[in-house]
Amino acid sequence: MGRFADKLRSGAFAVTTELTPPKGIDLAELFAKADQLKDHVDGINLTESPRARMAIEPTAVAHLLLDRGVDPIVQFTARDRNRIALQSDLLGAAALGIHNFVFMSGDPPQKGDHPDAKAVFDLTASDMLRAAHALAGGHDLAGHKLKGAPQLFVGATANPGAADFATEIANTRRKIAAGAKFLQTQALYEAATLEKFLEALKPEGVAILAGIIPLKSAKMAGWLIANVPGIRIPAALLREIEAAAASGREMQTGIDIAARTLREVRGLCAGVHLMMLGWEAHIPDVLKAGGVRA
């Protein structure tokens, strides 16, 4: 199936990260980052027009990354596809050798760079997982038989710090029941958030990859808290990053906090999902300091 799926199935600790394809067809920068990362991570997510900002279609990029020795994980949103397009695109991707997918709702177009675009949202993330499960079983969502079934390794997202915790647990359970094999979480900054989530969820047979976003600055920390649902940053960490700003050590402190978070959560989950937001070059340092890679 691929390095990522094999790692999770073996029970070994997995590391994923993500890259954002560009608005255009110049992939030189993305290829350079992927080449630097492929020996340090087990899979690389390719985002699909994040924040509803149009970018090149990630399945095409994923196909090109396969030739570079990268195991891609393609994000699919409900925002841009009805159920016909979703199933068609999954079959097309599988025919190109792509097997890993993460399903999510996607950001509303009104927040992006094409605010007049019409959103689809025909299916929920759970519905998308069910569609993928049906395809892998040899038939489409309407029950019609396929001429050749794809191999798919599918997952979704979860938000352990969600304000409506009970609803998040219920939604996540639906995703697991629909066939999610792994869940990549929203960023965490303390192990207690993940512990509470796992205790309530009690996932069985599903790999949880804890999300980590390094804090580049005190300003970034404030923006995350104000704009990203589910982000909770302990007061002690805020004070630490503020002190780092005063001493000119923000970058090193951000890396240190990410590595510390990794050390705290690695015994609780099957892996981590590092969302570096331009700091991809620091992934080896975070992994080494976090005790995951030599």
Where does 4-161 show beta strands of DSSP type E?
A: 14-19, 43-46, 72-77, 100-104, 153-158
Reported as a single tens digit per residue, the pLDDT across 255-268 is 999 999 999 999 99
Residue 1 has pLDDT above 80, yes or no: no
Average pLDDT, the chain: 95
Q: Which of 58-67, 223-232, 240-249 has the highest mean pLDDT?
A: 58-67
Reported as a single tens digit per residue, the pLDDT across 27-37 is 999 999 999 99
pLDDT at 226: 92
Six-digit token pair at 178?
Answer: 């629909």
With H, G, I as helix, E, B as strand and everything else as coil, classify residue 129.
helix
Percentage of the chain with pLDDT > 70?
100
Query: Residue with structure tokens 């002690």?
Result: 236
Spatial CA neighbour of 95 closest among 152, 179, 180, 21: 152
Helices (H) and strands (E) in the chain, counts: 11, 8
How sure is the predictor about 293, in pLDDT bands with cuts at 50, 70 and 90?
confident
Q: What is the pLDDT averaged over residues 3-26?
A: 97
Q: What is the pLDDT averaged over residues 5-27?
A: 97
Task: Put residue 16 in one of left, alpha, beta given phi > 0 → left and psi -120 to 50 → alpha.
Answer: beta
Strands 182-187 and 153-158: parallel
Q: Which helix (H) or strand (E) holds 72?
A: strand 72-77
Q: What is the pLDDT averaged over residues 238-257?
A: 91
Reported as a single tens digit per residue, the pLDDT across 178-189 is 999 999 999 999
- Given a contact cutoff of 8 angstroms between Cβ atoms, the answer to whether 99 and 152 are in contact is yes
Percentage of the chain with pLDDT > 90?
93
- Given a contact cutoff of 8 angstroms between Cβ atoms, the answer to whether 167 and 136 are in contact is no
- Given a contact cutoff of 8 angstroms between Cβ atoms, the answer to whether 239 and 175 are in contact is no
Task: State the Cα–Cα distance between residues 53 and 113, nearest whole angstrom.
Answer: 5
Reported as a single tens digit per residue, the pLDDT across 188-210 is 999 999 999 999 999 888 999 99
Strands 14-19 and 100-104: unpaired
* Domains of the chain, earliest start first: 3-289 (3.20.20.220)
Residue 294 has pLDDT above 90, yes or no: no
**What is the reported pTM?**
0.95
pLDDT at 204: 86
